[in-house]
Amino acid sequence: MFLKRLDIIGFKSFADKTAIEFSPGITAVVGPNGSGKSNISDAIRWVLGEQSARSLRGSKMEDVIFAGSETRRSINFCEVSLTLDNTDRYLPVVYDEVNITRRVYRSGESEYRLNKQACRLKDITELFMDSGLGRESYSIIGQGRIEEMLSTRPEDRRGPFEDAAGIVKFKFRKREATRRLEETANNILRVDDIVSELERQAGPLEQQAERAKTYKKLHGELTSLDISLLVHDIEQLKIRWKQTAEDIAEWKRRREEAAKHLAELEHSASVSRQELDFNLQAAESLQQQLMASVELRQKNQGQLELLTERRKNSRQSLEERRRQRAELSSELNEIENQIKSEKRRLQELTASLEIKTAELELAANEVNPDARTALEQEINQLNAELIEMHQEAANARNTMKQAEQSAGDEERRRRRVVEDLQQRAQETDTLHAKVEGLIREQEEKSDEMNALIGQWQAAKDRSEEVTGEESETASKLGRLQSQLAALRSRAELLQDLESGYDGYAFGVRSVLQAADKGRLNGIHGSLASLLRVEKRYETAIETALGGALQNIVVDDEESARVAIQMLKQRQAGRATFMPLTVIKGRFLNNGDYNKVSHHQGFLDMGSGLVQTDSAYRSVIEHLLGNVIVAQTLQSANEIARLVNYRVRIVTLDGDVVNPGGTMSGGTHSRKGPGLLGRNRERSQVEHELEEGGKERSELEQKQQQLRNELVQLKARQRELEEQIGTYRDAMGDIQIRLQEMKTREHHSQELYDALVLEQQQMDEGQNVWRDKIEQAAVRLKSIETELESIEQRLSERRAQLEARDKRLAAVQENMTAMRVEVATLTQERDSVHQRIQDAFQRRRRLLERSGELKNEESSLEVLLTETENEIVRLEEQSTELSYGVGGIEDSIAQAKMQRKEAEEKLRTADERVREQQQTVHTTEEQVHRAEVQAERADVELGHALQRMGDQFKMTYEWAKDNYPALENVETVRSHAEGLRRNINQLGEVQLGAIEEWDRLSERLTFLRSERSDLETARMQLTQLIGEMDEEMSQRFAATFEQIRTEFQVAFRQLFSGGKADLQLTDADDLLNAGIEVIAQPPGKKLQNLNLMSGGERALTAMALLFAILKIKPVPFVVLDEVEAALDEANVGRFAQYLRSFSDDSQFIVVTHRRGTMEEADVLYGVAMQESGVSSLIAVKLSELEPDTETA
């Protein structure tokens, strides 16, 4: 691998885009001081990930961006790209060429790219790990850094050795493993905390879960019983409803029978009523008939006489007509016989004439030349038709042949289309599958991206929440610090007051200060400093003690005398002392105490409200043992009366009832706390300070935790944004591929549809061709049949023509005799025909007369019959009228009797109708009652079924099939009530506790398993770190010895003698030991490196560099004026050393030394032709050497 190209734009003084091409060997970069040539080595270091602005000779990273000049404006970013030839796969990537790009903006944003793809600094760092390259490797030695290899601490010299040993990646992995080990340990602690907390919750939750399971079991059993009971109730309701329905049907049947019977009775009554009406009408009609019958009988007698005369005349006329018609019938028979005879003769003559006429016509036809001509024409016509038929047959055969050929071509094309169709269908299915796959992939990516967006939003929301919490915590912390500062000030003030004994009398203060300084012994302190009183009772106790609060408690009387003597000697005022050895307590007698202790205003004796050490209890009891503390002044007055004003009583407000009954009270002029309050307030302030300090520590810890979480959330947001961007890019690619696939699928589908249409058209074309072939075959067969017919007819016509010619001669001889015979027969036929016509005329006239006679005869017969019938009718009518008159009179009498019977029958029928109507009404009421009961049962049944659906979510039929029938219903109901009582006794039940317990139990199992996994991981990480330490130690030791040997050789070669060595500061700790460099130039004593000259130090560092390169060659080395401190002779040796290493490594040397330039293969010159802007000039010395030699 070697460095191919460096592209710079906007980096330091390289404002314009500058490209530097590097070749294997030695490339020298030269130029005057300040021209910017060292910026090239800085650019290489920077693009490889250098993060220290100081190493790049700046103060901040923005300093590497071109800042402008007198003639140019500054730019907003800079970019450096480094291109490496990686055909030998020196770097562990699959690319033949590796391009690394780094860009930074003035806003502080930066970008890294690897082969034009965005990446992280970590990716670039890991890529160059253990390669000898990178920002911290020995392959890039900047200006002035050559001596740093010697001047740094021994521990800091390990970097190049570790890089050469190939353990940098191991160290990186060890750091990662160590970090993961710490995280694992922390995770174990967190898991232990969580498990402990969950186990604490598990007990109550398990009890709740068991109670919930018991509830579910009881509730399930109760539900089963309720369902069975409900099924039983529904069955009973159905039985009741069925019985009620049967009752309804029975009552309806009875109602219908009663109604039917009522209708019958009503009909009978109606019939009776009609009979009565009919009898009335009949009686009236009979009366009218009687009168009409008498009148009609008289009229019939006159008509009978007239009809008898007319019958006689009609009989005479009828006999005359019958005689005339008999005579006409005889004459007609004679004429009919004549006509039949003449017709037979006419038929015979007509038949003979027809035969002769046909024979004559036939003979004439045979003789007629036109008939022969027609026959010849028919033969010619048949010949023409025969030729035409042969032509049509040929055409039909050609048509069929062409159709068969076209059908074959069409079939071959169709097969090709079917093959294309199958291929296109397969391609369409494949594309469709790809489209669906891409859609699924797109949906999956979308779901994953949405999940990431959700995580990002959650992180953002949590970040805002944490920011708010951090701000609130900071605000609380600020307020708390202000409060603590105020409390500290107050505490200091109280401490100052206490230490200065402010508020005490001059004498008291003098004694206490002297005791603090050790001048007095036996001093315990003021009484106020030895007491502790609740704030509520401070006013009362201060009032009760008064000036005694400043009394000084001492060991004994001697201590008091010494103190008094000191006050006298110094004239320091007065003080009251209370020797513990002589002070005794004073108490209220039991009688008075019993009187006052039951008073509601009594609080306690003064000594009972004060807290102090037991050593001072006698002092308190002496001063307050007989002082009563009451709630109010009113209470104090009442209590004073109870003890006859013998004791002192103080109230919570500081009012006093003195012995004897005097009272004092009012307000205090003191604004601050007294001596007791000051002591209490100091203790309270100290306590508040202590609590505030704890709260501040908690807030500071919480604030730090929130800040750490906020950093993690921000990092998580950036990570998620990168992932979301990756997903968006991936979805964009998928969308492009999907659109392309859809377009291809649509195009393939269009081609498929076109092929399907073409196949259909070809199928239709095949059918057309098949039809044409069949039609041509049918036509050909028809033509062949017609040809046979024409040929047969042609043969027949030709035979007929020959026979006709033979008969023609014989026929012409018989034609004359046949004509004479035809004429005779024709004349006789006409004569017979005339006689027949005459007979027909005569018969017609006779028939007309006979018809007239017959009609007259018929009319007379009809008239005679009618007359006789009328006579008979009139005679019978007269007889009937005679009998009818008597019958009508009898009928009138009978009708009167029937009317009376009908009236009685109607009355009886009406009474039975009324009785039956009552029966119908009764049955209707029964039907209504039954229907109401049925409706009630139906409603109850509906409610029960609705309850089955609403409460139990099942149908009655399903419940009946799946739940057992009940044998003892009452026992089951009692058991169900017992279950309800048991459920109620369980109290409040949390059904969610079962699921919560399952989740908790599952989580505990998971956490315990996870802890086991974490413990395993910790052991594995510990083992891995140990293995890496062992591997790194072995590699470092081997590489160190190799470099040590090569360093000794290189040192002697560069110095032409002398000796040098490398030693570890701690040979037992290979991974942390520093490296000491020992050098002794020729002719000099072994001395400290710092005492060596600059050139010697530089040459020693070069020897170390070349020793490392000897052991671990690197693809390229960048040296920035490393030989600046050498003289010309050593520069030459340095240049020759470069040349000896140039076969294995590529050297880019920034120099201004001639010896180095002379060894270079390519020389780049850097100059500032424009103020503040570096530009580049390249010269290949190998191309100049021939010209130089020629010159």
Between residues 949 and 1111, which one has the greater pLDDT? 1111
Residue 8 · residue 14 · CB < 8 Å: yes
Whole-number CA gyration radius for the chain: 73
Tell me the three state secondary structure of residue 1180. strand
Tell me the three state secondary structure of residue 55. coil
Tokens of 642: 């109870």
How far apart are alpha carbons 360 and 728 in whole angstroms? 118
Per-residue pLDDT band for 745 (boundaries 50, 70, 90) equals confident
How far apart are alpha carbons 725 and 729 in whole angstroms? 6
How far apart are alpha carbons 421 and 407 in whole angstroms? 20
Residue 6 · residue 40 · CB < 8 Å: yes
Tokens of 191: 């898991």
Query: Can you give the pLDDT at residue 804?
Result: 66
How far apart are alpha carbons 541 and 652 in whole angstroms? 9
Tell me the three state secondary structure of residue 967. coil
- Across 847-945, the runs of DSSP E, i.e. the strands, are none
Residue 817, C-beta contacts closer than 8 angstroms, at least 6 positions apart: none
Q: Which CATH number fits domain 522-674: 3.30.70.1620, 3.90.1150.10, 3.40.1180.10, 3.30.1490.20?
A: 3.30.70.1620
* 601, pLDDT greater than 80: yes
Highest mean pLDDT among 244-248, 310-314, 496-500: 244-248
CB atoms within 10 A of CB 1017: 18
Q: Which amino acid is it at 937?
A: A
The mean pLDDT value for 19-47 works out to 88
Query: Can you give the pLDDT at residue 1191?
Result: 29
How far apart are alpha carbons 98 and 1116 in whole angstroms? 14
Query: Can you give the pLDDT at residue 145?
Result: 66
Q: Nearest-CA neighbor of 974 among 365, 222, 162, 277? A: 222
How far apart are alpha carbons 850 and 840 in whole angstroms? 15
How far apart are alpha carbons 414 and 764 in whole angstroms? 11
Query: Can you give the pLDDT at residue 1187?
Result: 39
Q: Which CATH number fits domain 1-139+1124-1190: 1.10.580.10, 3.40.50.300, 1.10.150.120, 3.30.1330.20?
A: 3.40.50.300
Burial class (CB in 10 A: 0-12, 13-18, 19+), 271: middle
Highest mean pLDDT among 64-68, 670-674, 826-830: 64-68
Q: Torsions phi, psi of 602, nearest 5?
A: -75, 125
How far apart are alpha carbons 1033 and 174 in whole angstroms? 13
Tokens of 684: 């309270």
Question: Each residue of 407-449: pLDDT tens digit?
Answer: 777 777 778 777 877 887 888 888 888 888 888 888 888 888 8
Facing residues of 720 across strands? Answer: none
* 661, pLDDT greater than 80: yes
End-to-end CA distance of the chain: 37
Question: Each residue of 1140-1191: pLDDT tens digit?
Answer: 888 888 899 998 888 888 888 888 889 888 888 888 876 555 544 443 333 2
How far apart are alpha carbons 946 and 749 in whole angstroms? 57
* 509, pLDDT greater than 70: yes
Residue 689 · residue 484 · CB < 8 Å: yes
Residue 181, C-beta contacts closer than 8 angstroms, at least 6 positions apart: 1018, 1021, 1022, 1025
The mean pLDDT value for 1064-1078 works out to 85
Query: Can you give the pLDDT at residue 636?
Result: 92
* 947, pLDDT greater than 80: no
CATH 3.40.50.300: which residues of the chain? Answer: 1-139+1124-1190
Residue 68, C-beta contacts closer than 8 angstroms, at least 6 positions apart: 74, 75, 1172
Question: Each residue of 320-361: pLDDT tens digit?
Answer: 777 777 777 777 777 777 777 777 776 777 777 677 677 666
Between residues 580 and 873, which one has the greater pLDDT? 580
Residue 601 · residue 639 · CB < 8 Å: yes
Residue 988 · residue 207 · CB < 8 Å: no
Query: Can you give the pLDDT at residue 201?
Result: 66
DSSP 313-364: HHHHHHHHHHHHHHHHHHHHHHHHHHHHHHHHHHHHHHHHHHHHHHHHHHHH
Average pLDDT along the chain:
79
The strand pair at 140-141 and 110-114 is best described as unpaired
The mean pLDDT value for 377-406 works out to 74
Percent of the chain with pLDDT over 70: 85
Query: Can you give the pLDDT at residue 733?
Result: 76
Query: Can you give the pLDDT at residue 577?
Result: 93
DSSP 760: H
The mean pLDDT value for 7-23 works out to 89
Tell me the three state secondary structure of residue 526. strand
How far apart are alpha carbons 1043 and 1047 in whole angstroms? 6
Does the reported pTM lie above 0.85?
no
Lowest-confidence region among 863-877, 1002-1016, 1136-1150: 863-877
CATH 3.30.70.1620: which residues of the chain? Answer: 522-674
User: In the sheet that 523-526 helps form, which strands lie side by side, from edge to edge?
Assistant: 523-526, 552-554, 577-579
